[in-house]
């Protein structure tokens, strides 16, 4: 069966090369006679896999030496709790609410500390990023939290907020490795890998070492203390071995493609094709303020729910899958992560043109 163009927001399309290589190695990884899935996480071979993966992501993102790279589990959602649990000192944090995921993170944090919601774009269905140049942030907050790319609404911070010297924590689940990033501007960067980086089940957290506390409240579960995994090189317990192995392959694929500068260029090119079409269409309309548009998630509507449903169904029949918008917003959303080929975006736009002619 031919592969479809998969516009899922996550789990999402992965590079075909990576999948093929993994398939070739499925029964016998590098002559050891077993799959990585069957391998002890304490073996030399797996240690090499995780070490190489860490080195490759360090190279790609230019991660400074004073940052730890942790391969974790529990989804990005578990870090919604781990972040306040580990960073709590004064017991207060500032959250910028730009969508469901930031909202959920703030609600979770509120179980452990006082949350100040210093800005929000809820007034316009999260269709923009609020001005974060001069936020009213208390001096004693432990950190400022953002969701850098809002998967559901298709917005992205193209400029980081002015945290007024406070530690910046960012959930980058849906923009991980999609463009170059200056890691030194963040205290913590984390994300689930199931969009741009690998299969569901792995969370990567990049944490400045001085933010990993020696001691936390005694009620914090051992597995949620960053120090537990930082001291153990992400091997305190059995890690998601196969997922880490695939992430490692994706890192090598990105390196081969030319690194994050090349990824950005490729992603800009793809997104431009779709946004240019939306800006000129009489039927389809993008839902995001142009200056805050994401390169990764592109939501759009016709304005008629029945027509939207027809579009999604006909697109699926044409091999363009998973274009239905998030259940909380409706309409359509095309997620065009790193691994989506430019041909996929062109095929989508061609289909939209045809649909527009037939349904105008
Ligand atoms: N943060 C963002 C930006 C997301 O898009 C998602 C999931 O789509 C999550 C967090 C939740 O991730 P997980 O399902 O890994 O907990």
Per-residue pLDDT tens over the stretch 122-180: 999 999 999 999 999 999 999 999 999 999 999 999 999 999 999 999 999 999 999 99
In angstroms, rounded to a whole number, what is the distance separating the alpha carbons of residues 304 and 266? 32
Residue 42 confidence (pLDDT): 98
Beta strands in 140-277 (DSSP E): 144-147, 149-150, 155-156, 168-171, 188-192, 203-208
Q: Cα torsion for 269, 178, 58, 37, to the nearest 10°?
A: -110
Residue 360 confidence (pLDDT): 80
Residue matched to tokens 């984390």: 190
- ipTM attached to this prediction: 0.99
Residue 336, Cβ neighbours under 10 Å: how many? 26
Please indicate if the annotation marks 253 as binding a ligand.
no
In angstroms, rounded to a whole number, what is the distance separating the alpha carbons of residues 313 and 280? 23
CB of 243 sitting under 6 A from ligand 1? no
Contact 142, 91 (CB under 8 A): yes
Closest CA to 167 of 87, 62, 86: 87
Query: What confidence tier does 297 reach under pLDDT thresholds 50, 70, 90?
Result: very high
Question: Which ligand 1 atom is the nearest neighbour of the CA of 99?
Answer: 3
Q: Whose CA is nearest to atom 9 of ligand 1?
A: 76
**79: CA distance to ligand 1 center in Å?**
10
Closest CA to 334 of 288, 283, 291: 288
- The mean pLDDT value for 188-216 works out to 97
Please indicate if the annotation marks 42 as binding a ligand.
yes
**77: CA distance to ligand 1 center in Å?**
6
Chain mean pLDDT for the chain = 97
Residue 79 confidence (pLDDT): 98
* Phi, psi for 332 (deg, rounded to 5): -120, 160
Q: Could you report how far apart the first and last alpha carbons of the chain are, in Å?
A: 33
In angstroms, rounded to a whole number, what is the distance separating the alpha carbons of residues 284 and 154? 15
In angstroms, rounded to a whole number, what is the distance separating the alpha carbons of residues 230 and 226? 6
Does the pLDDT at position 1 exceed 70?
no
In angstroms, rounded to a whole number, what is the distance separating the alpha carbons of residues 351 and 358? 11
Question: Which ligand 1 atom is the nearest neighbour of the CA of 147?
Answer: 3
- The mean pLDDT value for 75-88 works out to 98
SS3 328: coil
Question: What is the per-residue DSSP string for 53-110?
Answer: HHHHHHHHHT--TTEEEEEE-SHHHHHHHHHHHHH-SSSEEEEEE-SHHHHHHHHHHT
Residue 2 confidence (pLDDT): 86
Give the DSSP letter of residue 281.
-
Q: Whose CA is nearest to atom 3 of ligand 1?
A: 173
SS3 257: helix
- The mean pLDDT value for 273-280 works out to 98
Positive/negative CA dihedral, 296, 93, 236, 77: negative
- The mean pLDDT value for 240-248 works out to 98
Q: Parallel, antiparallel, or unpaired for β 188-192 and 168-171?
A: parallel
pTM: 0.98
Please indicate if the annotation marks 136 as binding a ligand.
no
CB of 6 sitting under 6 A from ligand 1? no
CB of 294 sitting under 6 A from ligand 1? no
In angstroms, rounded to a whole number, what is the distance separating the alpha carbons of residues 137 and 134? 9
pLDDT in tens, 4-18: 999 999 999 999 999
Domains observed in the chain? 16-256 (3.40.640.10), 259-359 (3.90.1150.10)
| Mutation to probe ligand 1, out of 10, 76, 97 (largest number of atoms < 8 A from CB) | 76
In angstroms, rounded to a whole number, what is the distance separating the alpha carbons of residues 143 and 136? 13
Q: Parallel, antiparallel, or unpaired for β 67-72 and 285-286?
A: unpaired
CB of 192 sitting under 6 A from ligand 1? yes
- The mean pLDDT value for 206-220 works out to 96
- Write out the two tokens for 277: 């079409």
- The mean pLDDT value for 40-58 works out to 98
CB of 154 sitting under 6 A from ligand 1? no
Q: Which residues are catalytic?
A: 101, 171, 195
């Amino acid at each position: 069966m031919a592969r479809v163009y998969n516009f899922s927001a996550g789990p999402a399309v992965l590079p075909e090369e990576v999948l093929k290589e993994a398939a070739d190695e499925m029964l016998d990884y590098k002559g050891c006679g077993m799959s990585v899935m069957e391998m002890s996480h304490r073996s030399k071979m797996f240690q090499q896999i995780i070490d190489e993966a860490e080195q490759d992501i360090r190279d790609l993102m230019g991660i400074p030496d004073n940052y730890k790279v942790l391969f974790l589990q529990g989804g990005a959602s578990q870090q919604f709790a781990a972040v306040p649990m580990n960073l709590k000192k004064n017991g207060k944090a500032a959250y910028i609410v730009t969508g469901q995921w930031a909202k959920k993170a703030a609600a979770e944090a509120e179980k452990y500390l006082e949350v100040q919601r210093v800005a929000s774009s809820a007034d316009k269905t999260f269709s923009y990023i609020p001005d974060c140049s001069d936020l009213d942030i208390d001096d004693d907050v432990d950190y400022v939290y953002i969701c850098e790319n809002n998967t559901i609404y298709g917005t992205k911070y193209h400029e980081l907020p002015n945290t007024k010297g406070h530690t910046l924590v960012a959930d980058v689940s849906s923009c991980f490795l999609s463009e170059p990033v200056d890691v030194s501007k963040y205290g913590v960067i984390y994300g689930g890998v199931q969009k741009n980086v690998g299969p569901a089940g792995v969370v990567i957290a990049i944490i400045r070492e001085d933010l990993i506390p020696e001691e936390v409240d005694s009620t914090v579960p051992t597995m949620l203390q960053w120090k537990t995994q930082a001291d153990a090189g992400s091997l305190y317990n059995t890690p998601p071995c196969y997922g880490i192995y695939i992430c490692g392959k994706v890192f090598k694929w990105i390196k081969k493609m030319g690194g994050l500068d090349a990824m950005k260029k490729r992603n800009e090119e793809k997104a431009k094709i779709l946004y240019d079409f939306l800006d000129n269409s009489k039927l389809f309309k993008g839902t995001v303020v142009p200056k805050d548009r994401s390169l990764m998630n592109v939501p759009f509507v016709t304005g008629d729910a029945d027509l939207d449903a027809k579009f999604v169904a006909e697109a699926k029949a044409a091999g363009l899958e998973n274009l239905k918008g998030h259940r909380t917003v409706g309409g359509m959303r095309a997620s065009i992560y790193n691994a989506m080929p430019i041909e996929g975006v062109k095929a989508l736009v061609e289909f939209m043109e045809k649909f527009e002619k037939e349904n105008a």
